Amino acid sequence: MPPLPPFAAGTLCPPPGRYSMSWEEVEYSLVRAAEMEASSTRSGLWVELQSHRALVECLYGSVARIWLAGSFVSGKLDPSDVDLAYLIDADVYGGVNEPDDIADLANLSNREWCVKHGMRIDAYLLSLPATVDFRDLGIVGAMAAGDSEVFQTLGLYDEIWQRCRPGHGHRRGYVEVAG
């Protein structure tokens, strides 16, 4: 079975779920596949995504995972942008403290700034939980401070990325790529 199942006929989206793919599989499935050859936007969006990713990785040093969603992860021939969330390890996320770097990251998560600078990207920068040992998650006082909110935010984005537009109860899948 391919990493990304066939798109559902009614929504042109993958079935609900999170699909783990490599960057090569994403490029092949969503940019270079035969059914995407006629697209006038996918190749350009791919280049812009790679540029954006390189800038975020340069500022953070590393990205743990990336969630790709929206029309780019669909059968829509000409998506207008790429929706994504960068998931950053908590120590890396909190380790950026230079004012210029903070400003640059704010710009990279601002859709209007990205479009103005030639990147049709709608990006979110999310921290992963600081608590890494599964056994500590349910123990009062063992979970790192602030992790409850981090888990809520990740759950929110998981839910958002699985919603179709227009909603009408339709759900969709999205892609996770290791940083």
CA distance 113 to 2: 35
Q: Measuring CA to CA, which residue among 133, 129, 135 is closest to residue 147?
A: 129
| Residue 164, φ and ψ in degrees, nearest 5 | -95, 155
* Strand, helix or coil for residue 83: strand
Output the CA angle 70-75-76, nearest 5 degrees. Answer: 70
Q: What is the pTM of this model?
A: 0.90
What pLDDT is attached to residue 134?
59
> Mean pLDDT in runs of 10 for the chain (179 residues)?
78 91 96 95 98 97 96 96 96 94 96 97 94 62 74 87 74 91
What pLDDT is attached to residue 166?
63
